[in-house]
Amino acid sequence: MTSWTPASIPDLTGKAAIVTGANSGIGKPTALELARHGARVVVAARNADKGRAAVADILRAVPGAQVEYGHLDLADLDSVRRFAAGVGKLDLLVNNAGVGMVPRQETKDGFELQFGTNHLGHFALTGLLLPLLLAAPGARVVNVASDAHKMATLDFDDLGLERGYRKMSSYGRSKLANLLFTFELQRRAQRAGADLTSVATHPGMTGTNFFKAGILQPVVGLFLKSAAAGAVSSLYAATSPDLRGGEYIGPTLKRLTPSRTARSEEVAKRLWDLSTQLTGVRFDEIAYS
């Protein structure tokens, strides 16, 4: 157990941060605490009313905070490109947004929704913002994953999950992809000698909209922590000086061990190549053959 709390966040004046899905749940207190400590924060959300309401809430809690709304729909690669094109400086990218356990649907580009949003949308966003991250000393990418990845496998022959779609395993698969991406990004950055830290988190069971729609909510709700408590792992991963690239931080800030598949360099490289192909986003600055 560590004594770290969001009050331990160092002064972030001069740092620019983006938190995806910061209009609700774990993302909102993540954005709020980064702003409280002086960062300029973009609340990246797909719904303008919800995004602007979150900005207003943050400004009420932290008068004078440098926080703004940016329109981003991760289930639409054109939207991801438009959003990224409007960013001028970036030190910290928190890939937090997520969709979970929904009936089978597809993104605008025709990818299975959970994989397309949680993984491919964030993969594309990170790649498009990579030049800005590499220009910022000590830049970080935090991917909010989940221990739900441990139940998942990745069938490259059925990425659209057209055979036997299940909500939970599709969610777990998207979170497995978040971890494979985190570790491969770290390896590539390291090989290229880039000053970029890529880490993942598992926030633990948190009472957000994620659970509100579920049939288990009345039972599970009793055991869920607040969104602010759920944000602690993201905030630690985003700001602690004790962190090393490639770590997977759990709810009590302990380093967690990802599944064997999540640690596979071979699977990660295959997923990376496929994600490049599917999104058309290349990470040329840290490419290797």
Ligand X SMILES: NC(=O)c1ccc[n+]([C@@H]2O[C@H](COP(=O)([O-])OP(=O)(O)OC[C@H]3O[C@@H](n4cnc5c(N)ncnc54)[C@H](OP(=O)(O)O)[C@@H]3O)[C@@H](O)[C@H]2O)c1
Closest approach, Cβ 126 to ligand X, in A, equals: 14
99 strand-pairing partners: none
Query: Cα separation of 120 and 75, whole Å?
Result: 8
Binding site for ligand X (CB under 6 A): 20-21, 23-27, 45-47, 50, 72-75, 96-100, 117, 144, 146, 202-203, 205-206, 208-210
Torsion of Cα atoms, 62 then 66 then 69 then 70, to 10°: -150
- Residue 171 is among the residues annotated as catalytic for this protein: yes
Q: CB-wise, 25 or 246, nearer to ligand X?
A: 25
- Count of C-beta atoms within a 10 Å radius of residue 266: 8
Query: Cα separation of 116 and 274, whole Å?
Result: 12
Active-site hit among 69, 171, 236, 248: 171
Closest approach, Cβ 214 to ligand X, in A, equals: 10
Query: How many helices and strands (H and E) does the chain possess?
Result: 11, 7
Six-digit token string for 18: 């983006």
**3 state SS of 248:** strand
Query: Cα separation of 235 and 253, whole Å?
Result: 10
Active-site positions read 171
